[in-house]
Structure 1
Amino acid sequence: MAKGKHNLKWELTRLCKQQHQSAMRAKQEGFATQKNRTDILRLCADQLKVGGFRNMSVKSLKPKHVEHLVKQWHSENIATGTIKNRMSALRWWAEKIGKKDAINKGNEAYGIAKRDLVGAANAKARELDLVKLTSIKDPATSMALELQRAFGLRKTEAILFHPKTGWNGDSITLKGSTCKGGRPRTIPITNQHQTALLNRITATVGDGYLIPVNRNLKQQLEIYKHECGRAKLDRNHGLRHRFARDLYQELSGHKCPADGGVKRTEMTDLERQRDNEIRLEISRALGHERIGVVSVYIGV
């Protein structure tokens, strides 16, 4: 790199690598979270360059750069959830260079609307297509998809699941190092299908992991992506939404609002109290810290 010249994309990649290594050692974040952040920031660097902001360094971030990016995303009709994820990556960048004030604390200042919780829940929940599942040739990918559906796991959590140490009879436990945000969690086993799936996976992998010994996580994620694309099994995060709805029904005895059940505004005080307790259980099973997030999955 010539003296006085900056390559923002390269500098952001280096910043991510340095910060992510520390976070991994502290078991604060998973690989997928870090890769997604790096990809977002590299995209931002490209879009800023195309937008005329040349010779930026990693420490050059200013409000005008954030405003340019948000305007660009709005013009592309990017989904609100995707824009919010990108804003989180920008805030991470600003924090690491000591420029938190370069970005407003609230997304509303950028015209980023709050999500329609019921609409989001209705749009995202999806069932696992068993016919398409049979066309998956890689056993690790097939088992991961079934774990995503049965336990509401994220993709990487499912791929890294270790049956021998993670299955505890009436629940499964996920290590913090495999979870988003580094938060370990326990998910109760509430039906026979879950037990049957765990028995089948254990019979397949024995004491090992879903990932074959000759692959690493990055390689397995690429295979997962390829296999799902070939089988046309997309938007698999929706399996997690379907799990949340089913868990609500198992715990409450009736359907959640997003499935046509009683809305919170129509509940008695006692029913709302029980509803809050159930939502808290679902929040813990999903690995979220805020009970309000559950509304995105099951409606209000």
Structure 2
Amino acid sequence: MRVQLGDDIKSPSNTSGLDRPGQININCWQSDDYRADLHEFMRRYGYVGAADINRRCSEKTKTNRIVVLTSVIERLKGRIRGFRRLSQFTPRYVPEILAMWNEGGNRLGQSTEISTQIQNFSVLNWFWKMHGIKVNPIRTYVNDPALAPQYKRESIARVDKSWSGNGVDADRIIAEARFLDPVVARLLELARTFGLRANETLRLRPGLDDKHDHLHIHRGTKTGRQREMKYATFDADLMRQVIESVKAELGPGGLHAAWADRTLVQSRRRLYYILERLDITKKGLGVTIHGLRAQWAIEQFEKLTGATTPVRGGHAMDYRQFSDARLEISRALGHNRINVTSAYYGSFFAMKLPAELRFRDSWRELQAHLPFIQDALHAHHISNLWWVGARANGANVGKQDGWEFLIDEETSFEQAVIAKESLEKTLDACGVGVVCVHVADRAPHSAKQRWANHALPLFDVAAPVLKIEPATSA
């Protein structure tokens, strides 16, 4: 959707500058009532996109801009003597704004989290960008060098935000939700099957939006952008089964997938209330409902390409080989730019070097303990041990990630169980940290599938080498 730069978007009558976004003269806002000028500014320019001025942003984004700008300016007025006009609101006050955010004073009396500060700063950056004022990245204003790296916005996923990637059983959560409120269970099933945003599930009308061979999604989308979820491209049988089940559950007179007797605001509150009771929060189980959308993107990428995503330990391959699959996923999620999907499953290029460095660090740390490991193996007549898990493929986040090893099927179950206890005691005595030795017969099937591509033998090669997955075409 394009923004019309005509009668609806023009500068106030007292401005001497041009009226196009990026060329507004900030000195035109001279009213002592900054709220009046801010209201006028937002009326004319509030929907202008941040990255592309010709693209319209959503109503939610506009509302958030108003809230952030009003809050920041109001607090500055209380701290800066003589500050009263919108024209005075320039980047010179960024250090003061950061000090406000970090010293507390929000509605809970706490400092603002860094992630929230970054999001709020992007709103300020957009405001100044509309006036042609260039602003340095937020981290350049941070005085503490140790803290500055945290003030960096990541557009590429570094960790797996999906439910399955965080050990959250979606089937169990949906079953528990069905007991508390069947509507929430229905919404979660739709989000998981179609990769929908929370707002999209709340506003979906299955009877009308199901077009037999695709799902037409247009209500609740960002900026109102419509898209089609083609069943045949992904999992036609599952998608048809879920949508038909929801339609049957709603009955002939059913319209919305959400509550029939609640407004959108009430439905959203109810949804998040039940999710909180189920511990589906970042502070609880470490995931949100949006994690089902990330899970959908990850699973579809792996299904269409046969490759493991970077956030799940996949390594260097040419993304261009998978451009068709990535484009299909991007469009199904409602994005026009193919690179946006990296926010869900990461980037091979961005994660290749860090993965290799982490792998080498782990191997150097492990080398000193190899003689003790080998002695423990020989004591139980076992010739080799497989190195598996996050450290074996360089996907570990840091020192807190434990070491994982596998005794394969060639060793009898009884012998492997005894060796497992002995090896864990040996490694614990070495002080390498948290250690888990898996016995193949007891390991989950899903884990063994992952290890099939990454398991590294410790003793039948000179040194383990970080495995690069074959670049199979989609």
TM (norm. structure 1) is 0.75
Contact 2:125 / 2:135 at 8 angstroms: preserved in 1? no
Distance change in 2, residues 1:53/1:202 (3 Å)? farther
Do structure 1's residue 163 and structure 2's residue 206 form an aligned pair? Answer: yes
Q: How large is the Cα RMSD of the aligned pairs?
A: 3.5
2-side partners of 1:196 and 1:17: how far apart?
Answer: 45
Query: In 2, distance between residues paired with 1:21 and 1:79?
Result: 25
Contact 1:6 1:55 in 2 (8 A): no
- How many Å separate the matches in 2 of 1:222 and 1:54? 41
Equivalent in 196, 207, 222 of residue 241 of structure 2: 196
Q: Is the 8 A contact 1:164 1:208 kept in 2?
A: yes
Report how far residue 184 of structure 1 moved: 1.5
Q: CA deviation at 1:229?
A: 1.5
Instruction: State the distance in 1 between where 2:191 and 2:276 align.
Output: 17
Whole-Å separation in 1 of the counterparts to 2:222 and 2:84: 31
Structure 1 CA distance for aligned equivalents of residues 176 and 62 of structure 2: 30
The aligned residue for residue 320 of structure 2 is 273
Counterpart of 1:113 in structure 2 is: 152
State how many pairs are aligned: 279
Q: 1:126 is matched with which residue?
A: 163
Take 1:200 and 1:42, find their aligned partners in 2: how far apart are those partners? 46
User: What code does the residue aligned with 2:314 have?
Assistant: G
> Conserved in 1, the CA contact under 8 Å of 2:47 and 2:58?
no
- The one-letter code matched in structure 1 to 2:228 is T
Partner of 2:294: 241
Q: Which of residues 177, 200, 220 in structure 1 aligns to 2:267?
A: 220
Are the equivalent residues in 2 in contact too, given 1:283–1:294 (CA < 8 A)?
yes
1:182 matched to 2:228? The reply is no
Equivalent position amino acid for 1:133 in 2 = I
In 2, are the aligned partners of 1:5 and 1:55 still within 8 Å (CA)?
no
For residue 145 of structure 1, the aligned residue among 184, 188, 191 is 188
Alignment of 1:64-75 (within 5 A): 64-70=92-98, 72-73=100-101
Q: Return the structure number with greater helix share.
A: 1
- Shift of the 218–11 alpha-carbon distance from structure 1 to 2, 3 Å rule, reads farther
2:131 aligns with one of 99, 102, 117: 99
The answer to whether the aligner puts 1:252 opposite 2:298 as a matched pair is: no
TM-score w.r.t. the length of structure 2 is 0.50
2:89 aligned counterpart, secondary structure: coil
2:113 aligns with one of 78, 95, 103: 78
Instruction: Return closer, same or farther for 1:36/1:203 CA change in 2, 3 Å cut-off.
Output: farther
Going from structure 1 to structure 2, the CA distance change for 1:126 and 1:32 (only over 3 Å counts) comes to farther
Q: Which one has more relative contact order, counting CA pairs under 8 Å at least 6 apart? A: 1
1:168 Cα deviation from its structure 2 partner: 2.0
User: Is this contact kept in 2: 1:148–1:158, CA < 8 A?
Assistant: yes
**SS state of the match for residue 117, structure 1?**
coil
Would you say 1:87 and 2:127 are equivalent positions? no
Q: Check the 8 A contact 1:149/1:243 in 2, yes or no.
A: yes
Alignment of 1:200-211 (within 5 A): 200-206=245-251, 207-211=254-258
Deviations 1:114-172 (A, max 9, x none): 528352x42x2224633333343344433222222222211111111111222222321
Take 2:265 and 2:289, find their aligned partners in 1: how far apart are those partners? 18
CA contact (8 A) 1:256 1:298 kept: yes
Unaligned runs of at least 5 residues, structure 1: none
Q: 1:41 to 1:22 in 2, by over 3 A?
A: closer
Amino acid at match of 1:162: R
1:63-91, CA deviations, whole angstroms, 9 ceiling, x for partnerless residues? 123443345557757344x4443233224
Contact 1:248/1:278, CA 8 A, preserved across alignment? yes
SS in 1 for 2:189: helix
Asked whether the equivalents of residues 91 and 100 of structure 1 are also in contact (C-alpha less than 8 Å), the reply is no
Q: Using the alignment, how far apart are the partners of 2:304 and 2:259 within structure 1? A: 36
Q: Where do 5+ consecutive residues of structure 2 fail to align?
A: 1-30, 49-54, 104-110, 142-147, 282-287, 348-474
Shift in Å, 1:240: 1.5
SS in 2 for 1:244: helix
- Give secondary structure in 1 for the equivalent of 2:84: coil
Mapped to 2, the partners of 1:53 and 1:117 lie a distance apart of: 41
Compared CA separation, residues 277 and 197, structure 1 to 2 (3 A):
same
